[in-house]
Amino acid sequence: MKIGAITAVVVGCGDRACVYAEEGVFSLKKIKVVAAVDPDENRLKYMREHFGVPAKMCFTGQDELLAMGKIADCVINGTMDQYHKQTAIPFLEQGYHMLLEKPIVNNEADLMEIKRIADEHGCILMTCHVLRFAPFYRKIKETILAGAIGKPISIQTSERVGYAHSSMSYIRGKWRKESECGSSLLLAKCCHDLDLLCWLNNSTVPDEVSSFGGRDFITPENAPDGAGTRCLTDCSEEVRRNCIFDVTPMYLNNCLLPWYPWQCTGKDYREISDEEKIDSLKTYNPHGVCAFKAGGDIVDHQVVSIKFANSSTAVHTMVLGCAKPGRSIWISGTRGEIEGRADDGILFLRNYDRKTSAYTEQKFDFCELYGETGGHFGGDKGLMADFCDVLAGKTPSVSYTSIEDSINGHVLVYRADEAMQKGTVVKFVE
């Protein structure tokens, strides 16, 4: 394939789309960005300066570009959750292949409509389930496919969202209200995990699901005694000293995810001054509000249990505000087990040992890969490479996330949320 031979339009030129474009253009050298769509002029400026998109091919709305007909091979769609449908369908109807961020959409009817339109127009539509591409999870998949643990009987996963990430994305961040972003916490954060459960156990399909959870801990009633409404305006030093969500250490001194909290300033986070940050936190920035009073309507903990058609089972636990962030997994099979913590990059394969009546253990270490291979335990890079390969007509990897193969995980999320709301067991196929 020629360098930059795949032409792409970036729709929604935010954090995620730029991660993929960066991989495709500069690391893999297989993508050329020929046009960009984003209502935010700053983002378009970045696309011009960083990816060399011609000024006349930068658009604040998609209609002008769509009116030109199909001008590229694919779309990298990195719009926020609530815009996926309206930004995906018109491009698919013109025959653009598409890399579409997760969650695809928040309901089954729209999901199936997008799939139908992609199929009708012969489009490759790939979902950004980046974790499947992380060497850690890929190793698990390959181990299961090789038969090393026999058939999965039970899978247990957890997603512990660290307290800083929880605050910046979910408690004070842009996913804090399902009523605004369209996604429940399970959909926004753990459609990856439920996708993994389906993918790792895909010799069968989900049959029934139950779920419990709620917004029970990060609530106004649980704010520290005497807490104000904004850390930097009416909350005392004494109260803030004992509060894990105080903005001074979390946002000003450490700021682990700087691309989120300063978005509302309209400035690139790499250019904003400390004074501007403080001023925003004191006045209009939602991240300056007391975490306990930030008005979110998503859950802060949820557990999902699934029975598959072959009677194997799975449980996923998701918690906001954890001390140590991370994802863990334990799969017990008919011939052995796999256990690991993705954040520590450590995986164990254990098999029965007849000689000792105990077990053998192999350890796999993925730690050194993390620095080199980028975000999501190395998944971002692998995903983009697979997308380019599929567009070039090559055989996709074992991690490939076609729309077809992403449906079960998404529907499982819809069913789990329904089960939690209704307090009942829900059939996967209704």
Ligand X SMILES: NC(=O)c1ccc[n+]([C@@H]2O[C@H](COP(=O)([O-])OP(=O)(O)OC[C@H]3O[C@@H](n4cnc5c(N)ncnc54)[C@H](O)[C@@H]3O)[C@@H](O)[C@H]2O)c1
Interaction site with ligand X (CB under 6 A): 11-16, 37-40, 43, 62, 78-81, 83, 87, 101-102, 128, 130, 188, 376
Structure tokens at 68: 């030109």
Q: Under a CB-based contact definition with an 8 Å cutoff, are residues 101 and 84 in contact?
A: yes
Q: Which is nearer to ligand X, 240 or 327 (CB)?
A: 327
Q: CB nearer to ligand X: give 89 or 239.
A: 89
Q: Which phi and psi (to 5°) does residue 332 adopt?
A: -105, 125
Evaluate whether 349 touches 141 at the Cβ level (below 8 Å): no
Q: How far is the CB of 174 from ligand X (least distance, A)?
A: 7
Shortest Cβ distance from residue 103 to ligand X (Å)? Answer: 6
State the minimum distance, in angstroms, from the CB of residue 42 to ligand X: 8
| Residue the block writes with tokens 């512990």 | 160
Tell me whether residue 79 or residue 211 sits nearer to ligand X (CB atom): 79
| Minimum distance, C-beta of residue 262 to ligand X, in the bound complex (Å) | 11
Which is closer to ligand X, CB of 170 or CB of 292?
170
DSSP per residue, 320-334: EEESS-EEEEEEEES
Q: Nearest distance from residue 101's CB to ligand X, in Å? A: 4
| Beta carbon of residue 401, minimum distance to ligand X (angstroms, whole number) | 10
CB of 37 to ligand X, least distance (A): 5
- Sheet of 426-427: strand order equals 358-365, 346-353, 336-341, 326-333, 152-162, 313-322, 301-308, 206-214, 426-427
Q: Are 247 and 227 in contact (CB under 8 A)?
A: no
Q: What whole-number distance in Å separates Cα of residue 405 and Cα of residue 126? A: 9
Q: Is 139 helix (H, G, I), strand (E, B) or coil?
A: helix
What's 6-65 look like in SS3?
EEEEEECCCHHHHHHHHHHHHHCCCEEEEEEECCCHHHHHHHHHHHCCCHHHEECCHHHH
Cβ proximity to ligand X: between 261 and 333 the closer is 261
**Nearer of residues 40 and 180 to ligand X, judged by Cβ:** 40
Which residues have a Cβ under 8 Å from the Cβ of 104 and sit 6 or more positions away? 84, 111, 114, 127, 403, 406, 410
Contact 276, 246 (CB under 8 A): no
| Smallest separation (angstroms) from ligand X to the CB of 127 | 9
Nearer of residues 43 and 410 to ligand X, judged by Cβ: 43
What is the nearest approach in angstroms of ligand X to the Cβ of residue 240? 28
Nearest to 13 by CA among 2, 22, 26, 3: 22
CA 148 to chain CA centroid, Å, is: 29
DSSP state, 215?
A: S
Residue nearest to ligand X (CB): 14
Q: Which is nearer to ligand X, 277 or 376 (CB)?
A: 376
Minimum gap (Å) between residue 51 Cβ and ligand X: 14
Residue (92 or 243) nearer to ligand X, CB: 92
Q: Cβ neighbours of residue 338 under 8 Å, at least 6 residues apart?
A: 140, 143, 144, 149, 329, 330, 331, 347, 348, 349, 350
In Å, the largest CA–CA distance within the chain is: 72
Alpha-carbon dihedral 382, 388, 393, 399, rounded to 10 degrees: 20
C-beta closer to ligand X: residue 12 or 288: 12
